[in-house]
Amino acid sequence: MIKESRKGDHTPVVDIGLRYGMILFIASEVMFFVAWFWMFFELAIDHGHRADWVVPTWDEATTAAWANWPPPHVDTFDPFHLPLINTLILLLSGTTVTWAHHALQTGDRNGARNGLILTVLLGILFSYIQFGVEYPEAGFAFGNQGDVTNATVYGASFFMATGFHGFHVVIGTIFLAVCLLRLMGGQFTPQKHFGLEAAAWYWHFVDVVWLFLFTFVYVMPYLTMQN
């Protein structure tokens, strides 16, 4: 696609198709995360009725794990420490990518370059904090012994939801890094830069999803346990 763009094959009709394609791709990603949020809402809202759903042959520990949300003995993350730091990092990265896009539209290539560099660095920092610092501290990770083994439902839903978002952050960071290389190579102009625009759309989508994850995956279970 980069070669097609440089050859001038991206006519106005092709540009519209690319935009619609990116919009539909992001819409499909939205529905992907809706499934995980739906699961969290179901587990959090209907946990009072779940004890009646379990198979009678299950042991009491399994019944208790399904009847409460979060399950007993789960030590959730304090959302106002590392998760809040990562939230601020992503929100800041949303402003820097917007700065880069606006700077390119106005012909400020230095501003666009600096904004993209900051966005890529913030994306890398987010991934490091989540995968390198936060995850190893999770007390409900699989393989833990003792009472925490009852938390597999919570652990599965937590790591699938936040892990897939983290994977999207990695992909978005690569997406923006490629845009940075293209910008430095002179391939973007104020009139033709849909690659950067699509990357910015994707990055804002990642930001918005994280706000929902922070609220319903981190804050809500933590406040539930406090009560």
- The CATH number of the domain holding residue 193 is 1.20.120.80
Residue 201 belongs to domain spanning: 2-226
pLDDT digits (tens, 9 = 90+) for 48-80: 555 555 544 445 555 555 556 777 667 788 899
Mean pLDDT within 117-138? 93
* Cis before 70? omega within 30: yes
pTM: 0.83
> Within 13 Å and on the Cβ side, how many CA atoms surround 168?
24
Answer whether 21's CB lies under 8 Å from 201's CB.
Answer: no
CB neighbour list of residue 211: distance below 8 Å, 6 or more residues apart: 87
Q: Which two tokens stand for residue 207?
A: 């930001």
Residue 9's pLDDT band (boundaries 50, 70, 90)? confident
Tell whether the model's pLDDT for residue 103 goes beyond 90.
yes
pLDDT digits (tens, 9 = 90+) for 34-52: 888 887 777 766 655 555 5
Phi, psi (degrees; rounded to nearest 5) at 40: -65, -40
Q: Which of 33-42, 120-129, 147-156 has the lowest mean pLDDT?
A: 147-156
**Domain count across the chain:** 1
Residue that wins the pLDDT comparison between 153 and 93: 93
Residue 86's pLDDT band (boundaries 50, 70, 90)? very high
HEC profile of 10-38: CCHHHHHHHHHHHHHHHHHHHHHHHHHHH
Tell whether the model's pLDDT for residue 156 goes beyond 90.
no
CA distance 17 to 77: 43
Answer whether 63's CB lies under 8 Å from 206's CB.
Answer: no
Mean pLDDT for the chain overall: 82
